Each structure stands twice: as structure tokens, then as C-alpha cells.
Structure 1
Amino acid sequence: MSHRPLIHMLVAALAFGGLTIPGLGQTLLLEARGGLGMRDFVQPDTNLLDPTRLRDINAELLVSIPNPATLLLPGEFRPHLGASFDPGAGDGFAYAGLSWTVRAPVVPVFVEAGLGAAVQSDVINQGASRFGCAVQAQAQASVGLDVLPNVAVMVSVQHIRDFGLCGQADNPMSNAGLRLGVRF
């Protein structure tokens, strides 16, 4: 599967930095994230400190939108769109969902949780897949540190599974990685 259309879409969105909604005067602020990760880090005999396992490239875009829910809950809710792929193996997955970010009041630390859906490239290419369903559930979590006012580094984990709902045994994927985020 060629990942170029997704990469081109993310780069084009980043070029705008902030999109203004005509008539409302509201600016949608963007955050771009990227980094390296390892797949299936929970498998037996996995060495988390082995740098040769960092093969996945991750790119993600989050959009800050006006959100009335912030009056009820602390933090910020943002839609996210992303992809992870292994250039050597030529496979990957795309995902979308909603992230909830809560920042500490004094220290430059934040935690984030997200839920959504993912599609593996093997399903799109109609090849053999570790998942029985075309669309899988996707959950992610991050702990980050704001190193500059609009720049953060974070450790992230991501879990994808179909719960065995489509006639194939459940074979979840758990990934971990390091990412850099830039808010525009």
C-alpha cells in the first residue's frame, strides 16, 4: 500500500497551521505529531530498550475545536487522524478518533487518552490480515512534557483489536513509541 496520499494530506494540513471557519471567525488550531514506535511490545521476550525494534513511523494530526464540554470536564477534547507504518515491511494502519488531553496546572506535564477506529493496510489491499474485521477498535494513551510553549515530547501506547467479532480469533496489537508534537 502506498502511504503517500496520507502523508501528502497531513503535510497539506500542516501548511495551513490554523484553519479559519468562514462566517464564524473561529480558528481551528492544529497540532502535528510524529515519531518512532515499536509494534507488539507486549509479546513475550520483547526487549523495550532494543533500538532496532523502532521501525514504525507515526504521524498524527489533532484539531482544536470550540468545545462546550470543557465547561463540565477538565482538559481539551480534540479529533485526531493518524497513521503508522513500517517502511521495511510495507504495512501499516490508519486511525481516527477523539483525544482528551488534561494538562497539569503548574508543571508542564500532560496526560492524554484517545478512542477511535483503525483500518489495517492489509484489509485495504485485501490481503491476509491478523484481524477478522475491516475496522478495529483503537485506544491510545500518552504522557507528555511541554519542552517549549508549543512543543512537546511524549511517550505513547496504542492498542488495536477487533474483539474476535468477525469470525477470526482476537489477535490484538499493542504499540509503544516516542513522539514530538508541535502546536500551530
Structure 2
Amino acid sequence: MLAAAPAQAAVEACLTTIGGADIPLSYDTTDKALRDNRSMRERLFGGYGHVTCPGYVTLRAMTPDLTDDQRQPFCLVWDEKADTYTGFQVGKRDSWAECAAPSGLFCRGVNASAQTAGAVAGAIGRAATGAPLTGGANATLDTASGALIATGAGSSILSMLGTAASSAVAALSAPAVAAGAAVTVVAVGGAVYVCGE
């Protein structure tokens, strides 16, 4: 009887589009995390237009500092008119790793020091395990990814984070946030992402 040989890594080149720019990427077809985050529908029918990369490969390219577990709360935003991925946000994924119900809140990384990221995570963690927040804000821990997620009006989030999280607070101090726009702040893997309109 012959023993099964271990799967050989097979690197496949692919193309994605982010912000209107075509970006060549590659991925290992035997990667378990990719297989776990890729639907049968995507395997059978592929991506949109000239995009040949699996959605999860594009999400990895947009969140290079996160592990596969840490990027679980995020989904891709696809702009049909522009025929490109425009960003990512917090939300449930569809079969192509895109947001099943896009919220219009785009996430961007905040250039935060380790101390600031720790302060943001601490503030959200305390809120997630403490008393209800004011102004309709909500703080949760995504147990699968370890992400601490706070959502609500910008003023409520600013109040929750306090002055210790200075660079995140600076990113949240835009006029739209001051006017009460919805904001999501995600602290995961030593990084901070602010999601807003």
C-alpha cells in the first residue's frame, strides 16, 4: 500500500483591483486558511470581471499586518460602477469575502504606537465588560479574532476612548464625526482601524 504524499505548495498568480489599480498577487493553493475562507461558489465561478484573485487574498493584501484570525471581522467593499475594490469594513462576508450588507463605513489603519493601540484596546475592553455606554455606543469582543470593536456616534466613541488614545482620537476628530456620524473603531493584533464615512 502506498502512503499519501503531503500536498505540495502550489503558488498561483492572480490579479485584483484596489482603488482602480490592477495589482498582481499570488497565493498558495494549499493554504488551509484560504480554503476555509473561500466559498464553493467563488471556487466554481471565480471573481468579478478581470479579477482572478480570491476575495480573501485581496483582503489579506489590504490588511497585511493582521493574522488570518485577526482579519475575521472584516469584509471587502466592491464598487460595481468603478469595477474595483474600494476598501474594507467590519461586517459579515458573502461568498466572495465581500460585505453582505455594506454599511458605507470604510476602515483605515491609524498610525498608532503600541502604547496608543494598547490604550484603545483597553478602553474598548473596559467598555465591553462594564456598564452600558451612553449615546447608543456599543463595545464588543469578537472572540474568534480577538478584536475589540466599538460602534456608535463619533462623540460617544471619543468619550469612551478618552485622551489616552490620542492618535485614534485625532482620526475621529473630523467634522463628520463631530456632527454625530456613525463610527466603528477596531483594535486587533496591535493595530487600530477607524471605520467611518
* Length-normalised TM-score, structure 1: 0.27
Structure 1 or 2: larger helix share? Answer: 2
The structure with more radius of gyration: 2
* Length-normalised TM-score, structure 2: 0.26
Structure 1 or 2: larger strand share? Answer: 1
